[in-house]
């Protein structure tokens, strides 16, 4: 599960990219990818039109059928990996998790980008934040997609290894 604030920009973009990458890796039938937001402010809305345009222009599906939803505590135990777009999202998700075991499944999305800074355990994770493109222009949505794409293969490799380990 990918998670951002309202579930209309970053997390659905990551959901679309990851689905495509898992399909290309032959893992589409083995992995379920979804997304949510920590807020309910956008509940029921589709993917932001600017995010959709950038996805399509880069050869991805537009995210048709997506409707924003807020993450619930009951969602987390059923997820093997919860990918937070920012450190604020990660903190919120870990509080919501209810147990250390479930909280440990919350990982910063960009931690899977080989070019991103390495954050030692216990150190501030904000250096791995994917900036919110909502208040920006086209270049902000392009930058968001680039960050999502940069970490996607690392996510696929991590999941592939976890599946192989059983």
Whether residue 54 contacts residue 143, with contact meaning beta carbons closer than 8 Å, is answered with no
- Catalytic residue (one of 9, 10, 50, 94): 10
pLDDT at 166: 83
The question of whether 4 is a catalytic residue gets the answer yes
- Alpha carbon distances (Å) from 61 to 13, 19, 52, 100, 135: 10, 10, 8, 36, 23
The question of whether 10 is a catalytic residue gets the answer yes
- Alpha carbon distances (Å) from 18 to 2, 13, 22, 106: 9, 9, 6, 17
The question of whether 9 is a catalytic residue gets the answer no
DSSP label at residue 28: T
- Catalytic residue (one of 4, 34, 129, 144): 4
The CB density around residue 124, as the number of other CB atoms within 10 Å, is 8
What is the distance between the alpha carbons of residues 148 and 135, in angstroms, rounded to a whole number? 18
Mean pLDDT by 10 residues, the chain (166 residues): 98 98 98 98 98 98 97 97 98 97 98 97 96 95 98 98 94
pLDDT at 154: 98
pLDDT at 100: 97
Q: How many CA atoms lie within 13 A of 3 on its CB side?
A: 30
Tell the residue number behind the tokens 């679309």, with chain if given: 16
Whether residue 103 contacts residue 97, with contact meaning beta carbons closer than 8 Å, is answered with yes
Give the closest residue to 18 by CA, choosing from 28, 8, 9: 28
- Catalytic residue (one of 45, 91, 105, 132): 132
């Amino acid at each position: 599960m990918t998670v951002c604030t309202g579930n209309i920009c970053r997390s659905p973009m990551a959901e679309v990219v990851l689905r495509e990458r898992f399909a290309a890796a032959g893992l589409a039938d083995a992995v379920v990818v979804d997304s949510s937001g920590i807020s309910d402010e956008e509940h029921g809305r589709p993917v932001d039109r600017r995010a959709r345009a950038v996805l399509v222009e880069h050869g991805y599906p537009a995210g048709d059928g997506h409707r924003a939803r807020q993450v619930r505590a009951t969602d987390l135990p059923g997820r093997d990996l919860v990918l937070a777009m920012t450190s604020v999202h990660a903190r919120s998700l870990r509080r919501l998790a209810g147990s250390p075991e479930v909280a440990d499944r919350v990982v910063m999305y960009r931690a899977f980008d080989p070019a991103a800074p390495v954050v030692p355990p216990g150190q501030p994770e904000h250096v791995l934040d994917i900036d919110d493109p909502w208040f920006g222009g086209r270049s902000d949505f392009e930058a968001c997609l680039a960050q999502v794409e940069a970490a996607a293969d690392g996510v696929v490799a991590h999941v592939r290894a976890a599946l192989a380990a059983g």
